[in-house]
Amino acid sequence: MEPSTQKLIHTFGALADLGQEIAGTGDFTEMVRTSMHLLLGTLALRRGAVVECSGPGPLRCVAIWGLGDQALNSLEIDEPEMASFLCGEIRESLVKNTSSANVFLNKHRDNLLAEGIELVVPMIVRGEVTGLVLLGGKASGEEFSNDDFETVRAMVRHIGVGIHTHRLLEQLAQRAEENRRLYDELRTIYRDTVRAFAAAIDIKDKYTQGHSERVGRYSEIIARELGWSEEEVEGIQIAGYLHDIGKLIVDRDIINAPHYIDAKNSSELNRHPNAGYEILAPIRHPYADIPLMAKHHHERLDGRGYPDGLTDQQIPMGAKIVSLADSFDAMTTDRPYKRRRSFEDVVVDLRENSGKQFDGKVVAAFARAILKEVKGETRERRITKMLGKNYLEGDQVETLLADLISDLEGDYFRQDAKAQSL
């Protein structure tokens, strides 16, 4: 085989290797380093470097071989120097060519020659200089031939595209990060706004300070125990905060009536789930079904709830959770007409009403979450904080919860087995 054919095949092989290296998803610096070594190896060059720039200023060394670590530290490029590389006839420049019109070379010639750099090739992608490839002379001492220039041009173009692509990917990652940050900020703003609303709802009802906030937190705890995703958990928390937003349209005297309210006032008060739905439905919430959870938080599994008298399967799961959180908070906080109930009493109520008012699976999940906290298995004691220090104390609490869970889960499995046998 002719030496020139051999050389051609060798160059093709190097170009193929270079293409593979650049298309790889590995480390960027490693990619540039390997590419430069392929280039040096193909032409048997003693030394070389790849420097990049993203505008006028210092050139950043990405790969260097056969030169001192500090050799290129002082290299800078300005606007006219970048422009001079964009002129077609001086795309690659021999450093020793003193008649060159390249202003970069004319400025740095002595420095480059002192370091043994003989050829400077700009990496130009989409009409911009992304950096320079600086090459030493051939190990054989021969001059660069036209074929060599062709090879250098092709390989440097590849490296330039690799650097350009890497930058685009970096910009994309930055934008994605920026978008994620903005989205998080928006969600925080949304949540803070919702909490402010919750506080406004609770202010209207002077007996239930902090009720909506607690319902939000209980709902979140129950949903997490039920294995809901983080996004769904955030959504149910919001639904809890807003479940009584419809009370904003109910007369303050009715909400704050200290005793029994008559049928007329009661039906006025019972408008609040539908009113809540009307208020929330036109808003584009970042979570699904918030308006429906507000609308149905007074439904019961036995169909005796309001506003629509829905039954078990018809009630959205989120509304079942908010309903339990709402009733639990009502039972465990003092009202003007009655003191809160003991935990034992509350457990009796929950057992009695599971399957009628509450969904047994939801009650069991809440009981499991409380039991975990009572046993010290949770990092925070959030439920205890809401109920006050002494409420969940006593020898009986663990047994009460364990019995409730086993009864409800037993019921659930029995129902499940019955459904499967039908």
What is the contact surface with Fe ion in residues (CB under 5 A)?
Answer: 244
Contact 116, 136 (CB under 8 A): yes
**122 is written with which tokens?**
């700009």
Residue nearest to Fe ion (CB): 244
Dihedral of CA atoms 345, 346, 352, 357 in degrees, nearest 10, equals 150
Least distance in Å: CB of 254 to Fe ion?
A: 13
- Separation CA 372–CA 123 (nearest Å): 63
**CB 333 to Fe ion: min, Å:** 14
Which H/E stretch holds residue 48?
strand 48-52
Which residue, 244 or 289, is less far from Fe ion as judged by CB? 244
Give the shortest CB-378-to-Fe ion separation in angstroms: 28
CB of 267 vs Fe ion, minimal distance in Å: 14
Structure tokens, 249: 């349209």
Give the separation between CA 350 and CA 67, rounded to whole angstroms. Answer: 79
Residue 277 CB, nearest approach to Fe ion (Å): 12
Within 8 A by CB and 6+ apart from 399, the residues are none
Residue closer to Fe ion by CB (options 104, 366) is: 366
Q: Which residue has the tokens 């918030």?
A: 290
Closer to Fe ion at the Cβ: 131 or 240? 240
Q: Which residue has the tokens 């809540």?
A: 276
CB 270, min distance to Fe ion, A: 9
Q: Which two tokens stand for residue 84?
A: 């001079």
Name 76's bridge partners.
58
Nearer to Fe ion, 244 or 299 (CB): 244
Token match 């539908």: residue? 274
* Cβ atoms within 10 Å of 388's Cβ, excluding its own: 12
For the CB of residue 244, give the shortest distance to Fe ion in the complex, in Å.
5
Least distance (Å) from Fe ion to the CB of residue 266? 13
- Tell me how far apart the alpha carbons of residues 132 and 149 are, in angstroms, rounded to a whole number: 15
Q: Which is nearer to Fe ion, 81 or 213 (CB)?
A: 213
Residue closer to Fe ion by CB (options 122, 305) is 305
- Per the rule left: phi > 0, alpha: psi between -120 and 50, beta: everything else, 394 is left
CA distance 52 to 76: 10
CA angle 133, 135, 140 (to 5 degrees): 155
Nearer to Fe ion, 225 or 244 (CB): 244
Parallel, antiparallel or unpaired: strands 60-65 and 48-52: antiparallel
> Residue 262 Cβ, how far from Fe ion at the closest point, in Å?
19
Q: Nearest approach, Cβ of 269 to Fe ion (angstroms)?
A: 9
Beta carbon nearer to Fe ion, 81 or 244? 244
**Cβ distance to Fe ion smaller for residue 92 or 244:** 244
H helix intervals, 46-145: 79-85, 103-114
CA triple 354-360-366, angle to 5 deg: 105
- Residue 220 or 244: which CB sits closer to Fe ion? 244
Q: What angle do CA 89, 168, 24 make, to 5 degrees?
A: 90
